[in-house]
Copies of this chain bind each other. A is one copy, B any other.
Amino acid sequence: MEKTRVGVIGSGYWGPNLIRNFAEMPNCELRGIADLSVVRLEAMAARYPGVRTTTDYRELLNQDLDAVVVCTPPHTHHQIAKDCLEQDLHVLVEKPMTTSSRDARDLIDVAARRDRVLMVGHTFVYNSAVQSLKRMMDDGRLGTIHYIDAVRVGLGLYHPTVNVVWDLAPHDVSILTYLLGAMPLKVRAEGSACVHPTVEDVAYLTLTFPGGVLTHIRVSWLDPSKTRRITVVGSDKMATYDDVETNEKIKIYDKGVEALKPSNSFGEFQFNYRYGDIVAPFIEFQEPLRVQAEHFLECVRTGNRPITDGHAGLQVVTIIEALQSSLRDGQPRVIDGLLESSPDVLDATGAARS
């Protein structure tokens, strides 16, 4: 089998992790790295001696490449990804796919015209724990979903041009839309800019999904305890996904409350409580970035649509855009319902299951 030839644009904070994964995969050849920083390029050249480096990403595109990974600041994603697609290269772009839904739609169009794979790095969708939670919910093991609560806080890396909503919330938004297999109907945001006058570093977000399922996301760059926690409350069971926990990332609680229809003449509801076992299912650890990279290469080779394709990227950008807008006045924003999505569960081989 021929190796897929890959170039990476951007080797800053997150880029080296992507580079390492593509460099180590047997069916892939890492050929070039572009970055504006000569210092970073030298570090990469020392670590990956055979790989060409350049400060001009366009030079990279002229080499014999099949695919490009874009890992630059968000506001540059659209231009760079578009340039790549127009050179007939498959593209994996970091989240958020773009900084506006218009740009996201544009990328989808270009990718469609050129018949190239356009995939977004919604890494958590490739996380074994999230996959496990998704299967549990799809199998109905939690019952009807009552609500979902997500917390992603800690001492964050401030960016003068990006706020905490654009930085952290795409993770949770991509997880929520994936788990629920739907777009929210309505979103709202409140936040505060504590450290820098124009950069929100704390935000509380509500997303209401079809069926009135309330979900809430708390994001903060300014919290003493690193927390990455999602609580899914269903009518039959409750589950938590704690990404900071080493061994028991997912816990399923066989407990809940039921309101029994009034049987007496007073018409009073009775509440029935259920307490049962707590199970932490064994989840084989796989580095999500590796699973994501393999899925990308697989889609490049087969032409399959990635789980986190351009549409998934557009969904997340659309939601973040609406949250950002709501953040200004605290008023809710209705989400355009025309978007379609088809998130799937990965099967054991890393391929998407329909």
Contacts and interface: CB of A to CB of B under 8 A. Distances in A.
B254 A282 contact: yes
A305 to B, nearest CB: 32
Given A196-B269, A278-B248, A222 B256 contact: yes
A188 interface: yes
Contacts of A330: 188, 332
Size category, A interface: 35 or more
Contacts of A256: 155, 222
A11 interface: no
Given A158-B257, A194-B147, A332-B330, A204 B202 contact: no
B273 A282 contact: no
The residue in A146, A192, A194, A239 that gathers the most chain B C-beta atoms within 10 A of its C-beta is A194
Nearest to A194: B146
Interface in A210-269: 212, 214, 216, 218, 220-226, 231, 233, 238-240, 244, 246-248, 251, 253-259, 268-269
A206 interface: yes
A275 interface: yes
Interface string A119-163: 000000000000000000000000000110100000100101000
A278 B247 CA distance: 9
A218 B149 contact: yes
Nearest to A145: B194
Nearest to A192: B214
A337 interface: no
A202 B191 CA distance: 20
Contact of A147 (B196, B202, B269, B275): B202
A112 interface: no
Nearest to A239: B224
A190 interface: yes
A146 B192 contact: yes
Contact of A257 (B149, B195, B277): B195
Nearest to A156: B257
Nearest to A259: B196
Contact of A238 (B146, B196, B224): B224
A279 B221 CA distance: 21
A271 B238 contact: no
Contacts of A247: 226, 278
A158 B271 contact: yes
Given A278-B279, A330-B332, A147 B192 contact: yes
Contacts of A284: 275
A4 B253 CA distance: 42
Interface string A57-70: 00000000000000
A281 interface: yes
Given A146-B192, A155-B257, A194-B233, 18 more contacts: A49-B49, A146-B194, A146-B202, A147-B194, A147-B222, A158-B257, A158-B259, A188-B330, A201-B257, A204-B206, A204-B216, A216-B218, A224-B278, A226-B247, A247-B278, A275-B284, A277-B280, A279-B279
Interface of A: 24, 47, 49-50, 146-147, 149, 155, 158, 160, 188, 190-192, 194-196, 201-202, 204, 206, 212, 214, 216, 218, 220-226, 231, 233, 238-240, 244, 246-248, 251, 253-259, 268-269, 271, 273, 275-282, 284, 330, 332
